[in-house]
């Protein structure tokens, strides 16, 4: 079976105004997906508080790591949700499948809001929390493909990019809504009350959003393309086999992953997640200010999802998505360096005036990425780099003789590290505290700030730069739903498009902050984490340009 049905040579149906039913379809699908993303992002935004509430049985660092891993678990299972619900959607129907996904998502989120803490029920608390995160990830894996397929199959030929682009706004609007609710509750209750109990309120609010979404979706009809296929008896009896067991379709799935969704995902997560991480963790901008800046950029940039989706109906999906990947690859380094300049100029000046060099035996330096929090980094090199990385100090590496103790050069000052091997726990803590105190004193003396000075933050320029990052997101994300839908036949569309989308976004994109931070910690350069999204974006640019055909003129009927 061909994976696309082209209309080449056939006249395109005339464009017509959007009907009342089509407006209802877009609104219901988009609104429901906004709520789903709202639920999903709450956890990420409140990871530090959740770590204290549900993982307090371990030390603070390990607790935060476990909380982040629980967040990542939601991304990891998204492709499995795509398989489960994609198959169901192709066999039973689009409407009822993505009605189920929103029920799972909403109820899982609400239960987090009433889940007792570790102090109340012990290990059962983190176990239940992780189960709920897995349920959320599975549901989200089925939601997007259903919403995109449902809207596209209602859209008239020549308007699919415009119609489906409204769904593309939902992830951004969901993040925006979660930030607004969190900031509102925080402001109303105060930090102490928010950390103690009010953090639960945004999770509890989701039950109201769930009720609205279910009520709206129950009023919808099944998509015309699926109804027609069902009436003709052409529905698939084995969507997974047809989608992934036949090379003619599997190769299109692989091209969609490597040439479209992987690049789209890293551009998306760099523009909306890594930028927030960079502001707060690397540049030490306070969380409230950083969230406001991101929210403003999202508010300004979100209309471009619809602009680029509509434009893709005229000039094609492929050139816009490929241009977004190309511009991102070329612009990330100058954009993030400019963000440093306007967010923390004191840090930028210190990096230029007092460069830091770690002089160490390379064999004594570990790759300090320890997701389970069990490894101990005790060498003199590890001690030095651990402190510098946690304090966002840019450093370069210089090779020292084998077996020598690492030294840290800060401008014209040199600080000796120490070897931790063989020391007792108490001795290790004492020596480590002494080293941290000496290094803290020296980096402060050389102009490295403990945090960004609010008086030096150029809010206007930061909003401009962050908006540019969001616009790059809209270029790759605005047209992609229509393109993925158009690449596959109706009988296996839900299954076929969902898997590459969620592998791309759940794995390539979802693990971007962790991967980028590991690269920064290993190399010492605060900008080197950008090489990960750049490399993936370039891969998609090459694969997409060479091997993927334009789809805007494809018909959705088999």
In whole angstroms, give the CA distance from residue 547 to residue 556: 21
For residue range 233-256, list pLDDT tens digits in order.
767 777 888 888 899 899 999 999
**435 in the same domain as 506:** no
Residue 388 lies inside a defined structural domain of this protein: yes
**485 in the same domain as 504:** yes
CATH number at residue 336: 1.20.1250.20
Q: Choose one of 413, 445, 477: the last residue of a domain.
A: 445
**355 in the same domain as 281:** no
**361 in the same domain as 326:** no
**Contact between 330 and 538 (Cβ < 8 Å):** no
Q: How many domains does the chain have?
A: 2
Sign of the CA dihedral with 58 first, then 59, 60, and 63 last: negative
Phi and psi, residue 555, nearest 5°: -85, 155
**393 in the same domain as 284:** no
Alpha carbon dihedral 436, 439, 444, 449, in 10-degree steps, equals -60
Nearest to 95 by CA among 18, 154, 167, 35: 154
Which range, of 113-117, 261-265, 282-286, 511-515, averages the lowest pLDDT? 511-515
For residue range 340-396, list pLDDT tens digits in order.
999 999 999 998 888 999 999 888 887 655 544 445 667 888 888 878 877 778 888
Question: In whole angstroms, what separates CA 368 from the centre of its chain?
Answer: 23
Domain that holds residue 403: 349-445
Q: What is the mean pLDDT of residues 36-58?
A: 76
Print the SS3 string covering 158-220: CCHHHHHHHHHHHHHHHHHHHHHHHHHHHHHHCHHHHHHCHHHHHHHHHHHHHHHHHHHHHCC
Strands 407-410 and 413-416: antiparallel
**Contact between 95 and 222 (Cβ < 8 Å):** yes
In whole angstroms, give the CA distance from residue 160 to residue 485: 9
Q: What is the pLDDT of residue 371?
A: 45
Residue 320 lies inside a defined structural domain of this protein: yes
Residues in a beta bridge with 395 = 356
**188 in the same domain as 109:** yes
Strands 407-410 and 5-6: unpaired
Residue 6 lies inside a defined structural domain of this protein: no
Strands 554-555 and 5-6: antiparallel
Residue 360 lies inside a defined structural domain of this protein: yes
Residue 100 lies inside a defined structural domain of this protein: yes
In whole angstroms, give the CA distance from residue 461 to residue 469: 13
Residue 513 tokens read as: 């902050």
Residues in a beta bridge with 360 = 399
Nearest to 40 by CA among 13, 71, 18, 10: 71
**303 in the same domain as 393:** no
Q: What is the mean pLDDT of residues 139-144?
A: 81
**Contact between 486 and 4 (Cβ < 8 Å):** yes
Q: What is the pLDDT of residue 368?
A: 57
The SS3 assignment for 291 reads helix
CATH number at residue 403: 3.40.30.10
Q: What is the pLDDT of residue 2?
A: 37
Q: Choose one of 393, 413, 445: the last residue of a domain.
A: 445
Residues in a beta bridge with 358 = 397, 408
Compute CA distances 473 → 289, 304, 339, whole Å: 22, 9, 17
**263 in the same domain as 391:** no
When pLDDT is cut at 50, 70 and 90, the band that residue 322 belongs to is very high
**Quick one: 240 exposed, middle or buried, by C-beta within 10 A (0-12, 13-18, 19+)?**
middle
Q: Choose one of 412, 445, 478: the last residue of a domain.
A: 445
Residue 79 lies inside a defined structural domain of this protein: yes
**275 in the same domain as 327:** yes
Stated pTM of the model: 0.84
For residue range 164-217, list pLDDT tens digits in order.
998 888 877 887 788 889 889 988 999 889 989 999 999 999 898 888 888 888
Residue 1 lies inside a defined structural domain of this protein: no
**431 in the same domain as 311:** no
**436 in the same domain as 376:** yes
Which range, of 70-84, 195-209, 308-322, averages the lowest pLDDT? 70-84
In whole angstroms, give the CA distance from residue 17 to residue 99: 27
Residue 70 lies inside a defined structural domain of this protein: yes
Indicate whether 115 pLDDT > 90: yes
**390 in the same domain as 372:** yes
Compute CA distances 24 → 76, 152, 163, 441, whole Å: 32, 13, 11, 61
DSSP-derived letter for residue 397 is E
Nearest to 537 by CA among 504, 498, 511: 504
């Amino acid at each position: 079976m061909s994976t696309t049905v082209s209309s080449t040579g056939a006249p395109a149906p005339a464009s017509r105004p959007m009907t009342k039913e089509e407006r209802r379809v877009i609104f219901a699908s988009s609104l429901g997906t906004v709520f789903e993303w709202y639920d999903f992002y709450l956890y990420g935004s409140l990871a530090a508080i959740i770590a204290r509430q549900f993982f307090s049985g371990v030390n603070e660092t390990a607790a935060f790591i476990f909380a982040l891993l629980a967040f990542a678990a939601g991304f990891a299972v998204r492709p499995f949700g795509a398989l489960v619900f994609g198959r169901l959607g192709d066999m039973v129907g689009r409407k009822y499948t993505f009605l189920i996904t929103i029920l799972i998502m909403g109820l899982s989120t609400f239960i987090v809001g009433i889940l007792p803490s570790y102090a109340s029920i012990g290990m059962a608390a983190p176990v239940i929390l992780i189960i709920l995160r897995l349920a959320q990830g599975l549901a989200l894996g089925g939601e997007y493909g259903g919403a995109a397929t449902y809207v596209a199959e209602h859209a008239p030929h020549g308007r699919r990019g415009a119609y489906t682009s409204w769904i593309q706004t939902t992830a951004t609007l969901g993040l925006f809504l979660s930030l607004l609710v969190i900031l509102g509750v925080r402001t109303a209750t105060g930090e102490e009350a928010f950390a103690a109990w009010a953090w639960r309120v945004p999770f509890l609010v989701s039950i109201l959003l769930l009720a609205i979404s279910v009520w709206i979706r129950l009023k919808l009809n099944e998509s015309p393309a699926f109804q027609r296929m069902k009436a003709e008896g052409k529905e698939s009896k084995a969507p997974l086999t047809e989608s992934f067991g036949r090379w003619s379709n599997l190769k299109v799935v692989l091209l969609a992953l490597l040439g479209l969704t992987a690049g789209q995902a890293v551009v998306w997560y760099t523009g909306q997640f890594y930028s927030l991480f960079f502001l707060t963790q690397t540049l030490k901008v306070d969380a409230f200010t950083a969230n406001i800046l991101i929210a403003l950029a999202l508010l300004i940039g979100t209309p471009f999802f619809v602009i680029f989706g509509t434009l893709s109906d005229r000039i094609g999906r492929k050139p816009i998505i490929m241009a977004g990947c190309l511009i991102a690859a070329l612009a990330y380094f100058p954009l993030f360096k400019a963000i440093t300049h306007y967010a923390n100029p004191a840090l930028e000046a210190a990096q230029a005036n007092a460069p830091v060099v770690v002089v160490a035996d390379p064999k004594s330096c570990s790759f300090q990425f320890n997701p389970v929090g069990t490894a101990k980094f005790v060498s003199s090199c590890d001690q030095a780099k651990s402190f510098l990385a946690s304090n966002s100090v840019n450093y370069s590496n210089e090779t020292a003789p084998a077996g020598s103790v690492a030294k840290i050069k800060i401008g014209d000052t040199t600080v000796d590290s120490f070897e931790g091997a063989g020391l007792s726990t108490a001795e290790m803590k004492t020596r480590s505290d002494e080293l941290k105190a000496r290094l803290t004193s020296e980096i402060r003396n050389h102009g490295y700030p403990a945090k960004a000075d609010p008086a030096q933050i150029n809010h206007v320029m930061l909003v401009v730069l962050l908006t540019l990052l969001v616009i790059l997101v809209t270029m790759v994300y605005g047209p992609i739903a229509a393109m993925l839908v158009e690449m596959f036949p109706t009988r296996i569309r839900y299954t076929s498009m969902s898997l590459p989308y969620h592998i791309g976004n759940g794995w390539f994109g979802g693990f971007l902050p962790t991967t980028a931070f590991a690269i920064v910690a290993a190399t010492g350069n605060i900008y080197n984490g950008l090489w990960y999204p750049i490399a993936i974006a370039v891969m998609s640019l090459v694969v997409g340009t060479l091997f993927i055909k334009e789809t805007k003129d494809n018909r959705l009927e088999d």
